Amino acid sequence: MFKLVQYRVKPEKIEENQGLIAAVFRELAANAPEDVDYLVFQLDDDTFCHLVSDPSDVLKRLEAFAAFQHNGDARRLTVPLQNRAGIIGSYPFAVGKKVSLGG
């Protein structure tokens, strides 16, 4: 099971939010934890959607993730909505592959 987290970002904070997320992916790539699946989408309306499976709470121990969470309320227009999500299907997609975007 995955957790889906969705929130909108203030227009002037979009690049900052993207950069903080990219730093999380760089740290994940450097550490290559086995039991983390993490995928982030940005929608046209500046909603960010994080799809995550992290049974060992690896993300919470990353410096980049702590930096991402710091002052999150100041970047967001909406309170993050969290839901459990299951994948019904996937035809070649990044799900299940370790992919790092954003440098």
How many domains in the chain?
A: 1
| pTM for the full predicted model | 0.86
Query: What pLDDT score does 86 carry?
Result: 87
Q: Does residue 76 fall inside a structural domain?
A: yes
What would the 3-class secondary structure string for the chain be? CEEEEEEEECHHHHHHHHHHHHHHHHHHHHHCCCCCEEEEEECCCCEEEEEEECCCCCHHHCHHHHHHHCCHHHHECCCCEEEEECCCCCCCCCCCCCCCCCC
Distance CA 87, CA 20 (A): 26
- Residue 98 within any structural domain of the chain: no
Which domain does 23 fall in, by range?
A: 2-85
Q: What is the pLDDT along the chain (103 residues), one digit of tens a residue?
A: 899 999 999 999 999 999 999 999 999 999 999 889 999 999 999 999 999 999 999 999 999 999 999 999 999 999 999 999 988 887 776 655 555 444 4
Identify the pLDDT of residue 36: 92
